[in-house]
Structure 1
């Protein structure tokens, strides 16, 4: 009897201790599966590129495809190499932001660490809209008239005259370049030759044998400003221009395609061979606002070699600021008027292989600063353009400033300045604007 009472007392004591013990406040992690969690995220953030026939090296459209690449997925998101998104989100917010939050990176790594389970297809939530990459439609693709084999090493700038296929007034509302030989194509710019400039361009072409003509710095035309219709550098998949805006193209115009070939610089590749690049356009008959693409750099850097980057220096910086409203007519060849506000919709930055970081901002007349684009970790192979969620208005008296930083401290470094070669450097801002 005593034994029974003693046992009962022990059981009651244990029960009281259990009741007094506080519950574990640490929530157990919710299982992560492909269908319930990872697949929708991959579809939204990666689906624009990682599809069959896309610009990415492999597709991620199914569980089997993602499972096979699970280790690569984990490594690339932890290093922030993927998805490729270079702007600082503390600067501004952009349309079609591909970046991942810390929580999303954690979710992907937990999935891989758990063995990348598939889960139940019935648990899949509605598929979110994928981030749009490239053009929503292609209305015209213009191709080099014949393949070109670069003649100069390591850098060859060549311009090719392409026929514009429309006989009435049109507007370019989106642009994409299609490098024929990505191993040697450093950058592409599509210039607009107005009807009064076509004869001068053709004369340059006729002066040189073979396809195209040599063109450093621009399209080589001195008969007025040559507007940009679009540009490409490594990592840029192309895009639509902001809704309701477009670049005006008059009937009788031509497109001058400038291709910078690099055939021997280790920072870019230089695999050799010929090239037959093309450019694709989204084209509309009307727009609400006529736009203009404005390159932004200090003329003294280009004309007078005032962008010195000495050898042995780990952080060299140069900057330039100017009020674009004060010279809008000259900058745009009369498309815009002086002294009126400008609206910036889309922004980009360009440097070469020594670049480390760059920034484009508005300096208000009041002294305040508003960031347009901040690239804190420059990567030559991932250059893109970014559309602001909220366009920025530049008023008379405001300035747009571009600032770039370079590291020229590698062993064997030589002094560098502004130049057209891949081994030279640039500090170029680009902004797409309306008035």
Structure 2
């Protein structure tokens, strides 16, 4: 059974970050204290900390959302000052797993606290978490929306997650683009959780080919009730069309690009439910896909996978990975622009790194120093990276297998593992 994403309150702190279209995170509010009351603390909640929490945290840490407690005022936030510092300093929160320090890629709309913001939070805690002068509460960071034509995919009926387990992964086969309509491309998406207190992440998959489409329908038919169990992936060959975690607003693919949807083909809506909140767990979520009929470059995912993965048990640091030329991995004959990535492992995963060496250059493409299965997302580069089909890509994953007494191999199941990097590319 996968571990709970909220085993202790500190690990869920700052569970959200700046939304798509992100804000300047180097500003921590009005810090000019030259004309302030001499008795005013140099770092306070109202003048310095509240703006940081509003930008990065309150979208999830508010009543009725996925976080287990609120951080929307001083009385709520002050008791957690030590936990806030611990979780943010360790880069466990906000939940942006990719390193955005600039040492290994630079990503758009990164949910990444600046060094100045981290220092402000630490100074506030060390000062005893003072409140500061009376001031109006800052508004939470606004979430952007979608502006184009929408294709809404939705669960056909409500589903009640299994309260006997902290995490329930369920896939629902939903209608995609109309069979009698034109070919469409997904250029953005927004998730509307039916029960925000339990919906932990959502991934929309597009099954690859008629065989995969038939397989998902068979999986659905084989289990009672809506949907089928789907820890990890959709359980069939499928492309990611959308990936969302709480606190995110609308997500837009890089301008001028989109993911192709085949007319009449079903989609798979994977829901990850966390049931620790208790109460009414019933959910019926929807996803709005922003679509266009053309005028964009078709983006596609090239998968790097270690299908021969074998992890010995009882190891604090077991390793897997694969070296492969890009052209071989993606059946490419010419250069492509790398727009973003989708890293993926299961619950034993600890770190993931992807590098390149070849005609286009050498260096690190992405580094995930603290993998967390429960906070998966797409990462888009600030600028596309040109890759050559002769580039050698090196994918390295590490795992903690001390909880296992047998060899862990590649697979879709709860007790299996993966080492995957999905590269979102377009032809230049």
**In the alignment, which of 371, 375, 386 is matched to residue 368 of structure 2?**
375
Q: Structure 1: any 5+ residue segments left out of the alignment? A: 1-28, 330-337
Go from structure 1 to structure 2 and tell me whether the alpha carbon gap of 1:342 and 1:384 turns closer, same or farther (over 3 Å shift). Answer: same
* Preserved contact between residue 49 and residue 133 of structure 1 (Cα < 8 Å): no
Superposition deviation, residue 352 in structure 1: 1.7
TM, length-normalised to structure 2: 0.70
**In the alignment, which of 71, 84, 90 is matched to residue 95 of structure 2?**
84
Go from structure 1 to structure 2 and tell me whether the alpha carbon gap of 1:53 and 1:409 turns closer, same or farther (over 3 Å shift). Answer: closer
User: How many Å separate the matches in 2 of 1:120 and 1:114?
Assistant: 17
Q: Secondary structure at the match of 1:229?
A: strand
Aligned residues: 379
Deviation track 1:160-218 (CA, whole Å, cap 9, x = no partner) reads 43112553332212345677789999976433258967984687379647445688997
**In the alignment, which of 162, 173, 176 is matched to residue 161 of structure 1?**
173
Go from structure 1 to structure 2 and tell me whether the alpha carbon gap of 1:188 and 1:83 turns closer, same or farther (over 3 Å shift). Answer: closer
* Preserved contact between residue 419 and residue 425 of structure 1 (Cα < 8 Å): yes
1:16 alignment partner in structure 2: none
Deviation track 1:122-176 (CA, whole Å, cap 9, x = no partner) reads 9x9xx8994x77865693442232356799x999986543112553332212345
2:113 alignment partner in structure 1: 100
Give yes or no for the alignment of 1:422 onto 2:414: yes
User: How many Å separate the matches in 2 of 1:432 and 1:73?
Assistant: 34
2:317 alignment partner in structure 1: 315
User: How many Å separate the matches in 2 of 1:426 and 1:314?
Assistant: 17
**In the alignment, which of 292, 296, 306 is matched to residue 288 of structure 1?**
296
1:253 alignment partner in structure 2: 265
User: How many Å separate the matches in 1 of 2:369 and 2:324?
Assistant: 23
Structure holding more helix per residue: 1
* Preserved contact between residue 325 and residue 396 of structure 1 (Cα < 8 Å): yes
Go from structure 1 to structure 2 and tell me whether the alpha carbon gap of 1:87 and 1:199 turns closer, same or farther (over 3 Å shift). Answer: closer
Superposition deviation, residue 43 in structure 1: 2.9
Go from structure 1 to structure 2 and tell me whether the alpha carbon gap of 1:235 and 1:87 turns closer, same or farther (over 3 Å shift). Answer: farther
Deviation track 1:385-419 (CA, whole Å, cap 9, x = no partner) reads 22111221111211333210112134x63321112
1:40 alignment partner in structure 2: 51
2:389 alignment partner in structure 1: 396
User: How many Å separate the matches in 2 of 1:185 and 1:279?
Assistant: 13
Go from structure 1 to structure 2 and tell me whether the alpha carbon gap of 1:36 and 1:259 turns closer, same or farther (over 3 Å shift). Answer: closer
1:23 alignment partner in structure 2: none
Go from structure 1 to structure 2 and tell me whether the alpha carbon gap of 1:77 and 1:188 turns closer, same or farther (over 3 Å shift). Answer: closer
Q: Structure 2: any 5+ residue segments left out of the alignment? A: 1-39
